[in-house]
Structure 1
Amino acid sequence: MKNKRILIIGGTGALGSNLVRRYYRNNNIMVLSRNEHKQEAMRLEFPNVIYKLGDVKDKNSIARSFQEFKPQIVINTAAVKTVWVCQANPYESVEVNINGHQNLLDVIQESTHKIETVIFISTDKACKPVNVYGMSKAIAEQLYVEFAKQQTDIKVVLARYGNVLNSTGSIIPVFKKMIEDGVESLPITDSKMTRFLLTLDQAINLVEWAYNHPTSHGKIAIPKIESLNIMDLVKSIAAACGKTDIKFHKIPIRDGEKLHEEMISEIEWQRTEDVGDYYLIGFEKRNEDYGKLSYNSQYYVTNNVVNFFKNNNITI
């Protein structure tokens, strides 16, 4: 992305702020978010970015940003994303994670200037969802897929991936703080639990790849990444903090959590195309592998967490 006007909605979050970091030198960027304190902090690092307070729940605030900035590319990273928070606040989750996206698509449809690309950020929890967060993201995915079918001039990009390491509220900073605070025992829900994990750079690389790929319009782009056993990951975090002898205690799995996550379901596999380092889930059936395959974190676990950290330049 070069020489573009990019509107990043939710641009003060972990992903949004790192999108700003990658693209601000060669583009004009506006951040629309509802967190004034984070905007002020970002302003120190990125003084040439335009900052606007607004909320995806308010269609008018999106429309005002369009009228003022006239974006060519819109990336919506705004979300209520913590599983248990969404479970406890389903109305707010629907307002942000579904209605907020419909508000954006309505504004794009009504816009009098040309929008080139709209980019939606999804999650592996949208695949066979069992919680409010995953369900809301699955519905939002479908909003964009259906919107894409109606478009000939606007490219619609969807990116689905797993847990982002070192993002706000993610496992590494949470457990690292527990250890630094001197806890003697770390909570573990299930020693068999696995998750797809990737870095912020990998997440942005996926977005960039899907943006540039000539046939990604309206398709869900998915990275080929490894999963980790959460117990192995937590032990590695403890070791990196100098706590090789730390103890663990079992706690119940939280409401809405899965033991394993899936990136592509058996049904979606029929519509999936293998494209090098990525997959694309499209509109049309491509193969007869229904019931035979799925992209499940249980079967893609790496046994070497240290190498995983090293290969992905992850520091604790």
Structure 2
Amino acid sequence: MLPRLLSLLPRGSFRSLGIVHDVLIAAIAISLSLGLAFGFRITFNNWQIWSLIVAFTALSAAMFPLFSLNSGAWRYASLLDVLSIVKAVTAINVVFLAGHFILFRGLYLPRSSLVMTWFIMIVGLGGPRLAYRLWKERGLSARFFDTSGIRVPVENVVIYGFTDNADLFIRDARRSHHGVHIVGLVDDKAKNQGRQLHGVKVLGALADLPEIARRAELGATPINQLIVAKAQVPPAELAAVVEVAAPLKIAVKRLPDISRAGDLGEAPIEVLPVSLEDLLGRREIRLDIDEVARLIEGRCIAVTGAGGSIGSELVAQIASFKPKRLVLIDAGEFNLYSIGRRMADQHPGVETVERVADVRQRARIMAIFDEWKPEVIFHAAALKHVPIVEENPLEGIETNLLGSRNVADAALGCGALAFVMVSTDKAVNPTNVMGATKRAAEAYCQALDLGQAGTRFMTVRFGNVMGSAGSVIPLFQNQLSRGGPLTVTDPDITRFFMTIPEASRLILHAAGHGIADRAAEGQIFVLDMGEPIRITELAERLIQLAGLRPYKDIRIEYTGLRKGEKLYEELFGEGETREDTGLPGLLIARSRVSDVAFLRARFEAIAEAIAAGDAPAAVALLSDVVPEFGRARLSNAALISPALPAPRPEA
């Protein structure tokens, strides 16, 4: 009943009640102390005693605000509030004693009464505050009802880590009552075993979790979640936590670093899911944005493939740098519509121009660039799926190679300041058509960058991005939702991975740095991808994040390498040298630069082969442009050619 009555009060009324409470406590304290000193009958029949009570109460009411006793909510009362109370009570008693002695020489004021007043006031002011906090944290913690009186689902939680974050989370969970019941803590440090945090006991180490979960099940409090309360957890340790929790069907989540977050307000602390990026140890690199701002702010920017995974994130990040206009180009109507709506919702102040166009349409791209005169072009449009391009080589070559040529030539034609091509690690020593087309496009951009002094042509090369369309992670998630199995081509296959926001951010930084550093002309910017990751490990971690066991609950099957697929990818090719740019996360690949006239002649021949529908001729011409691809094709042909039959022995 009391909580319902309190909930009816206006928000500011709680503070007013607190002020009234404190003044009443001051009056009661001085009255009790004087009554105990003189006897209650004498005290309350003497007007001089009443004047002391009124004077002391008035002084207290005047001095309480000086110590901010009611500036904070009682539900957050702590030892610091008790310290403020002690300071306030001491100051009030000292001032009252000094004033009374100066005016009345201490008449009608026994010294013992102020000592008693001091104790009574501390208990009277501090006790209700601490009791209210305990009532909020514990008195309702077992009920878990929402404001309409309906019981809410309860999550039985174990916290991993005896930390400041755990301390704050326990207090917040008890205060906010958002359906969390904390069963206990687990911590691997021997010194923390058996300790308690706000009454929550450390039940054991991480290795003891199966036994802890069994006991909780017997106690009718089955553990639903394990919350990692450490601020900075190494990926290997986090993976170990997930590995222990997965067989027990316990979901693993984590806390943000709330110990440094300052005032958290009254909203409950948000518990975050453990992401695949957390387990794989890919730390995002954050760079200085000044160079990017100088490149984009106030300029007309064009993005091809604007509705794709990388393109849409590039558009969103570019918009934050206040361009004059964004020209969004995509061959897919729905993709273009989606990025247009996203821009209207998130960046309504940025002018956008949406154009349905395929980069293979040379005249169409030229017309768009001639109309809007973009100053910086980010070319992200491409066919990226290796097996599909391998089965459709003409479409892959026309889009990735001739399409890139069309956009680059359009950039030259409109006098753009900079052209940035998004490339891939599959362009390094390519064994497939997709990689070869991207390497040929890289070569064209390198040649243009050195062949003229107007437009700066830059290429940014990086590996796979987590969650992009056509990547392995959405495939695994789809297979997982169907109950498996998860299919991996080879047990030893590895790939580089990066998040979409990080990849887009580093593309922008590479562009900004490339404009500022003319020494990198004709070279390729390479994003530092860290260490390659085994795809099998990726599959195992995704299964564990779902609270399941690899190879037991969900199978992993190996299907064999697909056509044109490599066992591992590289970031630097044959004849390329690696150099640092001085910026974290950004490298340079110095490689040979082809002649522009040679490339244009070959591209025209490739265009004729495509027009004639002659895929073998187009691929052969592509091999001339990218010799590494030609050698790889010959090597693969030798490996798969049928062996000649052995001669039969003569009779």
Compute the TM-score of the two structures, normalised by the length of structure 2. Answer: 0.42
Q: Which amino acid aligns with 2:369?
A: F
Q: Check whether the contact 2:304–2:330 (CA below 8 A) recurs between aligned residues.
A: yes
Q: d(CA) in 2 for partners of 1:63 and 1:284?
A: 29
Residue in 2 aligned with 1:157? 458
Q: d(CA) in 1 for partners of 2:462 and 2:564?
A: 18
Per-residue deviation, 1:239: 1.0
Residue in 1 aligned with 2:525? 221
Identify which of 484, 488, 502 aligns with 1:188.
488
- Greater percentage in helix: 2
Please tell me whether residue 40 in structure 1 is matched to residue 337 in structure 2: yes
Query: Aligned pairs, how many?
Result: 280
Between 1:241-250 and 1:9-18, the stretch displaced more is 241-250
- Greater percentage in strand: 1
Residue in 2 aligned with 1:273? 579
Between 1:117-126 and 1:220-229, the stretch displaced more is 220-229
Identify unmatched segments of 5+ residues in structure 1: 286-316
Per-residue deviation, 1:66: 1.0
Please tell me whether residue 54 in structure 1 is matched to residue 357 in structure 2: yes
SS of residue in 2 equivalent to 1:50: strand
Greater relative contact order structure (CA < 8 Å, 6+ sep): 1
Residue in 1 aligned with 2:304? 9
Q: Which runs of 4+ in 1 moved over 6 A?
A: none
Q: Check whether the contact 1:24–1:49 (CA below 8 A) recurs between aligned residues.
A: no
Per-residue deviation, 1:266: 4.1
Identify which of 236, 239, 246 aligns with 2:554.
246
Q: d(CA) in 2 for partners of 1:40 and 1:230?
A: 34
RMSD: 1.6
Q: Deviation per CA, 1:243-301: give whole Å up to 9, x if none.
A: 223211221110111111111124212xx31224322123579xxxxxxxxxxxxxxxx
Q: Check whether the contact 1:206–1:221 (CA below 8 A) recurs between aligned residues.
A: no
Residue in 2 aligned with 1:298? none
Q: d(CA) in 2 for partners of 1:267 and 1:259?
A: 21
Residue in 1 aligned with 2:503? 203
Identify unmatched segments of 5+ residues in structure 2: 1-295, 345-350, 594-651
Per-residue deviation, 1:159: 0.3
Per-residue deviation, 1:46: 1.1
Identify which of 535, 538, 555 aligns with 1:233.
538
Q: Check whether the contact 1:176–1:241 (CA below 8 A) recurs between aligned residues.
A: no
Per-residue deviation, 1:67: 2.1
Aligned-residue identity in percent: 29
Q: Check whether the contact 1:206–1:222 (CA below 8 A) recurs between aligned residues.
A: no
Please tell me whether residue 260 in structure 1 is matched to residue 568 in structure 2: yes
Q: Check whether the contact 1:63–1:107 (CA below 8 A) recurs between aligned residues.
A: yes
Q: Deviation per CA, 1:79-125: give whole Å up to 9, x if none.
A: 011000100000001100111111122223333xx310000111111
Q: Which amino acid aligns with 1:194?
A: T
Identify which of 70, 73, 82 aligns with 2:373.
70
Q: d(CA) in 2 for partners of 1:163 and 1:42?
A: 22
Residue in 2 aligned with 1:146? 447
Residue in 1 aligned with 2:319? 24
Q: Check whether the contact 1:155–1:218 (CA below 8 A) recurs between aligned residues.
A: no
Q: Which amino acid aligns with 2:500?
A: L
Between 1:211-220 and 1:192-201, the stretch displaced more is 211-220
Per-residue deviation, 1:134: 0.4
Q: Check whether the contact 2:306–2:339 (CA below 8 A) recurs between aligned residues.
A: no
Q: Deviation per CA, 1:222-259: give whole Å up to 9, x if none.
A: 12222111111111111112222321122111011111
Q: d(CA) in 1 for partners of 2:452 and 2:504?
A: 24
SS of residue in 2 equivalent to 1:192: coil
Residue in 2 aligned with 1:304? none
Identify which of 93, 116, 120 aligns with 2:421.
120
Q: Check whether the contact 2:329–2:354 (CA below 8 A) recurs between aligned residues.
A: yes
Compute the TM-score of the two structures, normalised by the length of structure 1. Answer: 0.84
